[in-house]
Amino acid sequence: MLSRLAPDLRILRFAIMRRRLDALHTIDVDALDHAEEWMRQHSLLWTDTPAIHGAHYIRRRTSVPRENETAVEYYFSATVFRRLYFWRGSTHAK
């Protein structure tokens, strides 16, 4: 199990065309002046009633080490899923 908070969490490998990715309303949480405050207002990890942000694509760094930096998490609105190309054999972690 990857997370006790999300026991059915699935990690899926996908691709998206660059021009489509660039066209999405994006928020880079780490680039915000008040990233932690933004997370408190908009993330289900911090509040039971997150405020609407309107983004289709959100990215933020994690505390998981990866090479010389930390890993990045990518979140997409459900409206974007039809634009993603999922790889066969994507991992379903238990």
Q: What is the pLDDT of residues 20-55, one digit of tens each?
A: 999 999 999 999 999 999 999 998 888 889 999 999
Rounded CA-CA distance 1/5 in Å is 10
Does residue 10 surpass a pLDDT of 80? no
Q: How far apart are the first and last CA of the chain?
A: 4
8 A C-beta contact, residue 36 and residue 30: no
pLDDT confidence tier of residue 3, bands split at 50, 70 and 90: low
**Contact status, residue 73 vs residue 62, Cβ threshold 8 Å:** yes
| CA distances to 15, 42, 92 from 26, in Å | 17, 14, 26
Q: At a CB cut-off of 8 Å and minimum separation 6, what does 63 contact? A: 70
